[in-house]
Amino acid sequence: MNYMLTNHIKFRMRGILLIFMSMIIACNSQTDEVQPMTAFEFNEIDIVQIQADYKSGKYSIQNLVQAYLQRIESIDRSGPTLNSVIQINPDALQIAGVLDAEMKVGQTRGPLHGIPILLKDNIDTHDKMPTTAGSRALKDSYPLQDSFVAKKLRAAGAIILGKTNLSEWANFRGELSSSGWSGVGGQTHNPYMLSRNPCGSSSGSGVAVSANLTVLAIGTETNGSIVCPSTSNGIVGVKPTVGLVSRSGIIPISYTQDTAGPMARTVRDAALCLGVLVGIDKADGKTLASQGKSYSDYTQFLKADGLKGKRIGHFTGPRGANYKVDVLMDETLAYLKSQGAEIIEVDRITESAVGSASFNIMLFEYKDGLNKYFESLGSEASIKSLEDLIAFNNSDEIEMTFYNQKYLEMAQEKEDLNSDDYKESLATMLKGARDEGIDRVMDEHRLDAIMAPTGSPAWETDHINGDSFQLGSSSPAARSGYPNITVPMGFVDELPVGVSIFGRAWSEPVLLEIAYAYEQGTKHRKAPRFLD
């Protein structure tokens, strides 16, 4: 009886407190409401400033890491509950201490020494964190070695704070999925407006960078999974040429289209990170083609006048889907012209057959890639094949709550990669996306790059109907395996929208030059306000 009475009193007091708080909020401005979430000592800080502060002794690496860990706890796990970080590295502070000690004796590992970073949770780390792809089937799966990406980051001095939530299996599991939802991590929320979707599949990476829970994050993309969460969360995302960054140790979808890439608040930070990630990896044959075409320092291409004299194609395919986005794109085109760029309209890049061929390739390569990945986990792993995964999902009480696993089942039905069906689809896609696609358009018009809106403003998260994409421009670069960079280009009400810059294989230098010049001249990035 006393227990019930005590809880009744607590409930009444809690209700009175909530009413009192709401009265205070109603009397304050909107800026006052969000001030505690944006009043972060390191809000919007970049790598150059951090390195300068380390050098001056303003704070230590451990100080910075502790501040980010506390912010993740207050902003991600409680407060607005963004759900962007799926797990924390328990050794992060210890690693920071080692890096502090090295810096005190004049040693630095590389350009990211002491820089906090989060990895999408389909990227292997050989530490105390499992790699889950957001799936409960892998919630206790500990890879036997670091991914190539994790090795490169550690060697450059970056501190892996933890792993980010994602659209489960990188959003290639089934129909009517909601981006940013996973069986392990639940639903990730957009920091600009919490009811809105963060897009995916690198949802947590985009949200964490935007909400200042980290300096950098790594995402992965097969088609849109870096650039879409970057545009929806108001940040810079770089999808490199396939082969510039190794995929070994990354849970795959498509050997032909998959890549990892940096997500950051500025083009300079993204360029710094990209230079760390590149390299030849014998475990990923695609990287052999990057020989002589990669750079350890991409910041050398960042020029404030980088738009002058550029011939840029305006891909009009997305036009008309959202007039508010069209207005932002028109403003962007006007700015490009004012800075000396010449704009050429491009109404078509690829034929529709390329899309169906790409989907077929993904199914074939998904089965092959997943089975090889499961094998890499060793004999103790509970999931040993795609067939095992499908069976697990059917038996799990959470995994099938919101949507099905049709794509996994379709992949399971495919033959191996010696199939004529696979080979024909691969030839069709590569010819249509490259020779008769981006390369054709750029040759005909003598273009330096192509630009288009990255996507529409974030939609309301909906677990009944799934995602509600209005427009996107990721497919030409994704299917060809060519690079794509998205940069903030403005806001529709409180929601950010980005512009994509894409082009030929290995053209990251010129794309970064254009992206940087546009970013510096417009400064559209604004930190989120966590509106309810």
Q: Which residues are catalytic?
A: 120, 201, 225
Q: CB of 393 within 8 A of CB of 318?
A: no
- CA terminus-to-terminus distance, the chain: 38
Residues 6+ apart with CB under 8 A from 115: 47, 50, 157, 158, 159, 215, 216
The helix or strand, by DSSP H or E, that contains position 344, with its residue range, turns out to be: strand 342-346
- Residue 157 phi/psi, 5° resolution? 95, 5
The helix or strand, by DSSP H or E, that contains position 16, with its residue range, turns out to be: helix 2-27
- Number of C-beta neighbours around residue 306 at 10 A: 25
Cα 154 to the chain's mean position, in Å?
Answer: 19
Query: Exposed, middle or buried by CB within 10 Å (0-12, 13-18, 19+), for 28?
Result: exposed
User: Cα(192)–Cα(211) distance, rounded to whole angstroms?
Assistant: 9
Cα 278 to the chain's mean position, in Å?
Answer: 17
Phi-psi region of 442 (alpha: psi -120 to 50; beta: other; left: phi over 0): alpha
User: Cα(505)–Cα(434) distance, rounded to whole angstroms?
Assistant: 9
Cα-trace Rg, the chain: 23
Q: DSSP characters for 205-256?
A: HHHHHHTTS-SEEEEEESSSTTHHHHHHTT-EEEEPPTTSB--TTB--S-TT
The alpha-helical segments, DSSP class H, found in 246-285 are 267-277
- Cα angle 18, 23, 25; round to 5: 95
- Residue 307 phi/psi, 5° resolution? -90, -20
